Structure 1
Amino acid sequence: MTMKTPTSAPTAAKPGQSPTGTLKYDDKVVQKIIGIALADIKGLLTVDGGFFANLADKVVNTNDVTSGIDVEVGETQVAVDLQIVAEYGIDINQLYQRMKDVIVKQVKEMTDLDVIEVNVTVTDIKTKAEYADASVSLQDRASHLVNTAKDKVSSDDHEPNRVE
């Protein structure tokens, strides 16, 4: 006969005492905080997700603010790696400093985690016009072609048939 050792059930916190527990953040949460925080940085055209992420963005118009943001989240600290496309003509060192300031501030305010490292790789520079042209997805182009074809068919239906 096997005897079981009685186990004690978790006890409720005593009055005036805080309950115990932990608070953890998934990497995706910190990535999203950073992605949203970087959205309005002047001179930063995009955080670059690499070839396959960029290809996916070209096929379908997406708004994944975490693309191109890698983080390592510990219990109290975060390390961040970013790949970016900067605007041609801007001071990239100042851009890097603005990015670090915003990332450190937002992550600290929202999670109380300390950002200990921000590594940025500039993968490309483009003018705003080049970036806008490159940002049009295949989905957008296909929609434009369909609408153009519909307009053509519609205008052909309204023209009288000509016999020549």
Structure 2
Amino acid sequence: MSINGMVPAEIGSSDMGTTQIANEVIAVIAGLAATDVRGVADMSGGVVGGIAERLGRKNLSKGIKVDVSTDERQCSVDLSIIAEYGFRIPEVATEIQDSVKRAIEGMTGLEVTSVNVNVLGISFRHDDGEEREKVRG
């Protein structure tokens, strides 16, 4: 069965039936885990994500691509983020990788083979906490 053109991961079956997890659910788990990391200002979803947000819809999977292996036991994740100015980007990326891997494996039972972090911009915040400017590459 295909959901939005993507085959969901089948993570279990029993006499009662099967359990499948859509790739978008895995992406939401990854997005929540990534945004909990200090130094991540936002996820970057490109033009489509920006349009959805302007229409008042929060897309929890924006900027995230999930690939589930053909045997449906492993997955890889690509994330695009906006980093906060003042944080060491390599450390933020490593923490994102650890957090996302832990969250997905803990909640789904899938083995995460890779978490690729793409930093697409920097967010500058002033002393009052308001975001003033984003610089995107």
TM-score with structure 1 length normalisation?
0.63
- Residues 21-100 of structure 1 correspond to what in structure 2 (within 5 A)? 22-57=18-53, 59-74=54-69, 75-100=72-97
Matched residues in 1 for 2:56 and 2:132: separation?
A: 14
Task: State which structure, 1 or 2, has the greater radius of gyration over its C-alpha atoms.
Answer: 1
Matched residues in 1 for 2:130 and 2:68: separation?
A: 31
Q: Is the Cα contact below 8 Å between 2:83 and 2:121 reproduced in 1?
A: yes
- Give the aligned residue type for 1:64: N
- Residues 1-164 of structure 1 correspond to what in structure 2 (within 5 A)? 19=15, 22-57=18-53, 59-74=54-69, 75-129=72-126, 132-133=131-132
Q: Is the Cα contact below 8 Å between 2:82 and 2:119 reproduced in 1?
A: yes
Matched residues in 2 for 1:34 and 1:52: separation?
A: 19
* Between structures 1 and 2, the one with greater strand share: 2
Q: For the structure 1 residues 123 and 131, does the alpha-carbon distance in structure 2 shift closer, same or farther, using more than 3 Å as the test?
A: farther
Q: Is the Cα contact below 8 Å between 1:84 and 1:122 reproduced in 2?
A: yes
- Give the aligned residue type for 2:121: D
TM-score with structure 2 length normalisation?
0.75
Offset at residue 39 of structure 1 (A):
2.6
* Between structures 1 and 2, the one with greater helix share: 1
| Cα RMSD (Å) | 2.3
Structure 1 gaps, min length 5: 1-17, 136-164
- Give the secondary structure class of the aligned counterpart of 1:86: strand
Structure 2 gaps, min length 5: 1-13
